[in-house]
Chain A
Amino acid sequence: DSGVTQTPKHLITATGQRVTLRCSPRSGDLSVYWYQQSLDQGLQFLIQYYNGEERAKGNILERFSAQQFPDLHSELNLSSLELGDSALYFCASSKGQGTGNTIYFGEGSWLTVV
């Protein structure tokens, strides 16, 4: 158990809908990362927050947004869902930023868009 908690574990929703994925980082970790994993794209970096502020952005679609709250948990919002958004979404956390901060992953949230 990495200590990173993600909910829900599984989610099935229809195209056009909006969902929110939630992440609780490990105790004491200030950085939160979001990744999308699909069969044909591997692990794609979406976005990273540190202590409530956005610090790095990857290939995150405009339909997706995220935030990190004062209690350090984070939410990834996915809207106007398309079939191609079906994937495993991982949250990860680390104590700080930069080189040497080990990043620990949660077990992921399986999103199926039908």
Chain B
Amino acid sequence: GESVGLHLPTLSVQEGDNSIINCAYSNSASDYFIWYKQESGKGPQFIIDIRSNMDKRQGQRVTVLLNKTVKHLSLQIAATQPGDSAVYFCAERFQYDKIIFGKGTRLHILP
């Protein structure tokens, strides 16, 4: 079915290190990509987005990279903190307003 795939279901990172969460998407017609963070018992929270005419976008402690050649998206979190523990989803928009989510990567912060 329609899906956005993720390379790693669980990622463990030492507190203070940088985290990189990867995502592969399958629809070359997708024109907009979003990263969401979901904490236990809560709804997905918008982190950062990027349009397909860009290859990099930076936010506060986060950077999203887009490689359209290989249909790959990544989320970099600088100086990972305990509060960053969550499941991270990448999502793509195609067919006008259909937003499709990947299965998620759980980020675990090691003390």
Contacts and interface: CB of A to CB of B under 8 A. Distances in A.
Nearest to B104: A42
A20 B31 CA distance: 33
Contact residue range for chain A?
20 to 34
A55 interface: yes
Contacts of A108: 42-43
A107 interface: yes
Interface stretch (B15-23, B62-70, B73-81, B95-103): B95-103
Given A42-B103, A59-B1, A99-B51, A105 B43 contact: yes
Interface string A86-106: 000010100001111011111
B42 A107 contact: yes
B43 A33 contact: no
Given A99-B51, A100-B32, A106-B43, A42 B99 contact: no
Interface residues of B, number: 26
Given A42-B103, A99-B31, A100-B51, A2 B43 contact: yes
Interface of B: 1-2, 31-32, 34, 36, 42-46, 49, 51, 89, 91, 93, 95-104
Interface of A: 2, 4, 31, 33, 35, 42-45, 48, 50, 55-56, 58-59, 90, 92, 97-100, 102-108
Q: 4 closest A-B pairs (Cβ-Cβ)?
A: A105-B43, A43-B101, A99-B32, A42-B103
17 contacts: A33-B99, A35-B101, A42-B101, A42-B102, A42-B103, A45-B100, A55-B97, A56-B98, A58-B2, A58-B98, A58-B100, A90-B44, A92-B44, A98-B97, A100-B51, A105-B44, A107-B43
